[in-house]
Amino acid sequence: MSAITRMASRRRVLKGALNGGVVTLGLPFLNGFLNENGTALAATGQALPSCFGTWFQGLGLSPGFWEPKEAGVIREMPMQLKPLEAFKDKINVYSGMRVFLDSHPPKVHATGAIAVMGGGIPDDDNGAFPSIDTLIADHIGTRTRFRSLEVSCNGQRFAYSRKSASAANPAETSPMALYQRIFGPDFQDPNAADFTPDPKTMARKSVLSAFGEERQGLMRELGSEDRSRLDEYFTALRELENQLNLELQRPAPLDACTVPENSEEGTHSMVIDHAAADNRLFSKLLAHALACGQTRVINIVFDSAGGNLRTAGSPVTFHIHTHEEPVDPAIGLQRQVAWFQEQCMMALNDTLTALDSIREGDGTVLDRIVMMYGTDTGFAKFHSVENMPMFTYGGAGGRMKTGIHVPANGDTTSRVGLTIMQALGLPVSRWGTESNDTSRTITEVMA
């Protein structure tokens, strides 16, 4: 059986589960639009919906330096999380979690990343399970112009976001191109005084709808594996139609929505300063996109699994440092590695700052999103997938408590994903495959 068939089968199973085939634990869908206090209200009087995001960085952090000392409320940020000090009350730390390899040969750097983002380990290189963001986007992203938005700060187009082995969401690498996609000519300002549907959009929708009618005839010509690929195409077509439909409707006013200035092009390179600059540009645009109701799911890749970033003029990449640099016995850390990790946390701080700087009523965009940190190793020096650094940021619109450290020694990283999905109202009772399958919600952080 080919990987596509396997993927498709699993996907169907998951879709079945999401349609209620498995015990439903999630909150009713409409609650997804209400926050805890009902204070972050849109101008229409409706509560603003919760959102989801991922922020990915290769090579993780250094074990022993990112875990708070005590369980429960985080009173003091550990050394490697100091750059996030301003967000101590909006972060959750989950320590001691691991990826179970079962019988899969470890593909260094790839396996950990895929398992954290997809809840399990596929059998072949390009095979993959649906990543958590696509499962969530299928649930909360169907009524926004963009089901999700993916960006990458190091010039690589891979976003760790995929629906199946054959459908990986490409990352945008140019901030200027992202600006055009979101705030270019097709953007409908929700706060504009006048609204006139664009005839060209109407004509485009009419053409797309017509082409969508060919689905059945084309499916009949194909074998089963290719039918699932074509099915993905027509799903994409419906998403595009949906996007045009939304552009033809007067959007609900959103007080916090402002259109940012046109973005700079960015540098899309693997020099860490450049990646950090691009991350700032992207984060600002994505924060505005969330505030303007353009999407509810964002994926940011600061650096890929395996860590390709480097400093200008140095022949040694972050990755090479993790393997070659001796641990300094005086501090118990690899100094250069720790420096790169600090830069990554500073970049993450930039993203959180961008989300937190847009106020919506009494809260901020960060308050109604939940971001999941993703990485590939727990200790890059040895390619370990144990003690993976796992974090969430933001309270999902009051659906998650924050400022908490949960030690979860020996548990699968899938618990974090499952908890987020349930907090966002997805009707799922378990997530993951093989030993990375779990039905154990992290109740300590559920509001």
Partner 1 sequence: MINFGRPRRQRTTRRVALCAFAATAMLAADMSIAADEPLSSGGEPVVRRLLPDQYRNIVADIFGTDIEIGGRFEPDIREDGLLAVGASRVSVTGSGLAQYDAIARGIAEQAVDEKHRALLMPCVPASVNAPDEECARTALARAGLHLYRRPLTDEELDLRVNAATEATKILGDFYQGFALSLGGMLSSPQFLFRTERSEPDPDYPGHHRLDGYSKAERLSFFLWNTSPDTELLEAAASGALHTEKGLLKQANRLLASSRVEDGVRAFFEDMLHFDRFATFSKDAAIYPKFTNDATEASREQTLRTIVEVLLTDKGDYRDLFTTRKTFLNPLMGSVYGVPVPKITANGAPDPWVPHTYPADDPRAAGILMHASFTALHSHPGRTSPTLRGKAIREILMCQHVPDPPGDVEFTVVQDTENPVYKTARTRLEAHATEPMCTGCHKITDPMGLAMENFDAAAGFRTTENGEVIDTSGSIDGKVFNNAVELGQVIHDHPAVTNCLVNRVYAYAAGREPTKGEGEWMKYLKSTFVENGHRYPDLMRTIVTSDAFYRVAEPQTQDARAK
Site for partner 1 in 377-416 (CB under 8 A): 382-385
Binding partner 1 (rule: CB under 8 A), the pick from 35, 80, 92, 148 is 148
The reply to whether 280 sits near partner 1 by the rule CB under 8 A is no
C-alpha–C-alpha distance, residues 272 and 340, integer Å: 8
**Residue 298, helix vs strand vs coil:** strand
Binding partner 1 (rule: CB under 8 A), the pick from 207, 259, 446, 447 is 207
SS (H, E, C) 177-189: HHHHHHHCCCCCC
Query: Rule CB under 8 A: which of 20-79 touch partner 1?
Result: none
Rounded least distance, CB 158 to partner 1, Å: 7
Mark the segment that binds partner 1 (CB under 8 A) among 229-237, 275-283, 366-374, 417-425.
229-237
Nearest C-alpha neighbor of 292 from the set 183, 136, 173: 183
Rounded least distance, CB 312 to partner 1, Å: 6
Mark the segment that binds partner 1 (CB under 8 A) among 53-61, 156-164, 415-423, 429-437.
156-164
The reply to whether 350 sits near partner 1 by the rule CB under 8 A is no
Binding partner 1 (rule: CB under 8 A), the pick from 222, 252, 259, 446 is 222
Q: Enumerate residues 6+ apart whose C-beta is below 8 A from 261.
A: none
The reply to whether 176 sits near partner 1 by the rule CB under 8 A is no
Binding partner 1 (rule: CB under 8 A), the pick from 84, 149, 275, 291 is 149
The reply to whether 195 sits near partner 1 by the rule CB under 8 A is no
Binding partner 1 (rule: CB under 8 A), the pick from 166, 341, 364, 402 is 166
The reply to whether 144 sits near partner 1 by the rule CB under 8 A is no
Q: Which amino acid is at 362?
A: D
Rounded least distance, CB 303 to partner 1, Å: 13
Query: Rule CB under 8 A: which of 68-127 touch partner 1?
Result: 105-108, 126
Q: Residues 234-273 vs partner 1: string with x where CB under 8 A?
A: -xxx-xx--x-------------------------xx---
The reply to whether 160 sits near partner 1 by the rule CB under 8 A is no
Nearer to partner 1, 107 or 430 (CB): 107
Binding partner 1 (rule: CB under 8 A), the pick from 67, 133, 150, 247 is 150
Nearer to partner 1, 28 or 221 (CB): 221
Mark the segment that binds partner 1 (CB under 8 A) among 35-43, 305-313, 367-375, 433-441.
305-313
Q: How many chain residues interact with partner 1 (CB under 8 A)?
A: 77
Rounded least distance, CB 70 to partner 1, Å: 30
Number of residues that this document lists for the chain: 447
Rounded least distance, CB 363 to partner 1, Å: 28
The DSSP symbol for 382 reads G
Angle at 67 between CA 62 and CA 73, to 5 degrees: 160
**Residue 392, helix vs strand vs coil:** strand
The reply to whether 185 sits near partner 1 by the rule CB under 8 A is no
The reply to whether 9 sits near partner 1 by the rule CB under 8 A is no
Binding partner 1 (rule: CB under 8 A), the pick from 30, 315, 329, 409 is 315
Q: Which residue has the tokens 């929708």?
A: 205
Binding partner 1 (rule: CB under 8 A), the pick from 23, 73, 252, 312 is 312
H or E element that contains 309? none
C-alpha–C-alpha distance, residues 406 and 136, integer Å: 23
Nearer to partner 1, 367 or 376 (CB): 376
SS (H, E, C) 17-82: HHHHHCCCCCCCHHHHHCCCCCCCECCCCCECCCEEEEEECCCCCCCCCCCCCCCEECCCCCHHHH
- For residue 97, which phi and psi values (nearest 5 degrees)? -85, 155
Q: Which amino acid is at 356?
A: D
Q: Which residue has the tokens 């349930």?
A: 422
The reply to whether 359 sits near partner 1 by the rule CB under 8 A is no
Q: Compute the Cα dihedral for 20, 24, 28, 32 and give only its sign.
A: negative
Mark the segment that binds partner 1 (CB under 8 A) among 142-150, 187-195, 283-291, 417-425.
142-150
Radius of gyration of the chain (CA): 21
Q: Which residue has the tokens 């796992």?
A: 390
C-alpha–C-alpha distance, residues 190 and 65, integer Å: 45
Nearest C-alpha neighbor of 247 from the set 195, 208, 206, 212: 195
Rounded least distance, CB 128 to partner 1, Å: 11
Q: How far is CA 123 from CA 7, 111, 164, in A?
A: 10, 10, 13
Binding partner 1 (rule: CB under 8 A), the pick from 83, 118, 155, 363 is 155
C-alpha–C-alpha distance, residues 357 and 301, integer Å: 21
Rounded least distance, CB 442 to partner 1, Å: 27
Binding partner 1 (rule: CB under 8 A), the pick from 22, 27, 219, 246 is 219
